[in-house]
Chains A and B, each alone.
Chain A
Amino acid sequence: MSPEELAFLALALIAIVTGTLALLVRELIHTIVWIGVFFVDLAALYFLLLAPFLGVLQLGVYAGAVTILLLFGIMVTRKRIFSRDAATGITTVPVALAVVAFIFLLIALPEFPQGELTVRSYDPSLLSQNLFGPGGPWLLLLGLVMLSALIGAIYLVREGRE
């Protein structure tokens, strides 16, 4: 087993564990901690796949911004940060649905493109060329969506509504 495979297994295990823990812990603030670890772990996975630009973006946007935003969300909706959420039982049907979905995805796995991942390093400038070349429309679309989301968010939280 190559070091890369070993690293992948370790990172995958950490991702699954932290992702699950983030949803299962009772303290909402612990969720933020675990999801932060999860995001960092995924960033590490990107580095492993030799996509450093994405890794950095993951760290900046997810591990940084999203985590902090979620934290803010908790802070503005709770009087005390360390307060337990109402216990939520793990009911049968949703778990079954999730498991069934997973099993079906595994069954469908052979339908996906197969092969070996060829991991190579590349010049990040190529990515930006790609982004602003063939990926240009995507970038424009992202800008539009962000702008409308900004307007929508401002509308939603505006004071004096209702």
Chain B
Amino acid sequence: MTTLAITGFLALSFALFAIAIFGILTRRNFILLLVSLEIGMNAAILNFVYFAALAPANTGSTSGLSGQSIAVVLIGFAATEIAVGLAIVLALNRSKGSINVADSTTLRS
């Protein structure tokens, strides 16, 4: 049983989240966008794990583990998101012939 300061962990997930934002804002390839999303998602999941470990110790009870169980659910969500994302990639590729989001600007009137 070891103890670690939470500050560094939070800084790590913030850094990863900033990298994800950078990727989302600059990349034009849809697959890279998905990758950026995954990085950001992971940064968020990490936080749940930290705060699960921050919970007061009461061994034998499951209360300290709810953070981890939410992390499990979130990993599932992330996998789902990748699946839908790839479906969008295929649909885009078929309709536009490219997965560059700069080619898909039909949102503009």
A residues within 8 Å of B by Cβ?
A: 2, 4-5, 8-9, 12, 15-16, 19-20, 22-23, 28, 31, 35, 38-39, 42, 45-46, 49-51, 53-54, 57-58, 61-62, 65-66, 69-70, 72-74, 76-77, 85-86, 88-91, 93-95, 97-99, 101-102, 105-106, 109, 112-122, 126-127, 129-131, 133-135, 138-139, 141-142, 145-146, 149-150, 152-154, 156-157, 161-162
Contact = CB atoms under 8 A, between A and B. Distances in A.
B19 A127 contact: no
A149 B82 CA distance: 10
A105 B78 contact: no
B93 interface: yes
Contacts of A93: 25
B66 A117 contact: no
Contact of A109 (B7, B62, B75, B95): B7
B71 A54 contact: yes
A28 B35 CA distance: 11
Given A23-B26, A51-B52, A53-B72, 12 more contacts: A22-B39, A23-B35, A51-B49, A86-B28, A113-B6, A113-B54, A118-B3, A127-B62, A131-B69, A134-B69, A145-B80, A149-B80
